[in-house]
Amino acid sequence: MKKQLMNMRDSIATAKTLNEALPYLQRYTGSIVVIKFGGNAMGDDEAMAEFARDVVLMRQVGVNPVVVHGGGPMINALLAKLGIKSDFVRGKRVTDAATVEVVEMVLSGLVNKRIVQAINDEGGRAVGISGKDDDLMVCEPDDPELGFVGRPRDMRVQVLHDLFKAGIIPVVAPVGPGDNGETFNVNGDTAAGAIAGALKADRLLLLTDVPGVKGESGEVMTQLSPEEVRDLTDRGIIAGGMIPKTETALAALEQGVRAVVILDGRIPNACLLELFTDHGAGSLIRSTEPRIKPRGE
């Protein structure tokens, strides 16, 4: 009897959650959401499966998700196994010809297909591509000191729209071609921002291993304007590894993305919390515009 009562309470809570999510489900139907996936979840089977279920659910309710991923730890592991030494300049990996071959093998092969398989295992339809496919992300050198590290220059996103129409979830590895047939390694956040900008996405979700952007007192700031981001950066409050993420956010907003969220990917169902509840799961950055609810529109 007690177990039945607990099951009934759980069922009622689930039904209530679905009821409260309705305005958000309606709000995001037909929208494009680009998700940068990385961090601890990529190395944990249970976390990977949970993320995959979230993405499948998003597609099921009419959202068009695009998953862009990194793979730094996996790249490091294979480079070490092959005895290829990595040097870093200002925190960025110097990518020579031998290194970029490993990068492409890991990102377009091992990591990309693992995410695709996880989504398919949860009942979704995912296809793995890279920035090379259909010249999705043509790149130029980012810094001569870094070798084959690129930044997106020309975005050709028709292939993504074609996949949306077919009901398929694109999973994109952040490598792209150059003008002379070379391959460039692209920072995952940078690639996600460029793809989101080219798609004029409704949301860019940057999953991280931290709670979000912190303010002067160390509190997580749930909402920020571009002006606030610049001010916090100028004062040194936004620093270190958060700077590239906020720079990606500001660039994406300038390209037409409606909002960017830097959120804690360690939180269960973080993407669903952000999109379909009042609570949210991180720091939302966008220009001021009216909302229906604190975390909705």
What pLDDT does residue 218 have? 86
What pLDDT does residue 132 have? 98
What pLDDT does residue 210 have? 86
Q: Is 151 exposed, middle or buried (0-12, 13-18, 19+ CB in 10 A)?
A: middle
Per-residue pLDDT of the chain (297 residues; tens, 9 = 90+): 555 555 656 556 556 666 676 676 777 889 999 999 986 667 688 889 999 999 999 999 999 999 999 998 899 999 999 999 888 876 678 899 999 999 999 999 999 999 999 999 999 999 999 999 999 999 999 988 899 999 999 999 999 999 999 999 999 999 999 999 999 999 999 999 999 999 999 999 999 888 889 988 889 998 999 999 999 999 999 988 898 899 999 999 999 999 999 998 888 889 998 888 877 778 999 986 544 344 444
What pLDDT does residue 292 have? 37
Ordered by where they begin, the domains of the chain are 25-285 (3.40.1160.10)
Distance CA 213, CA 242 (A): 7
Distance CA 151, CA 160 (A): 19
Non-local (6+) Cβ contacts of 119 within 8 A are 52, 55, 56, 67, 125, 126, 169, 171
What pLDDT does residue 137 have? 98
Size of the chain in residues: 297
- Pairing, β 259-264 against β 203-208: parallel
What pLDDT does residue 91 have? 66
What pLDDT does residue 61 have? 93
Non-local (6+) Cβ contacts of 150 within 8 A are 139, 140, 141, 142, 176, 178, 184, 185, 186
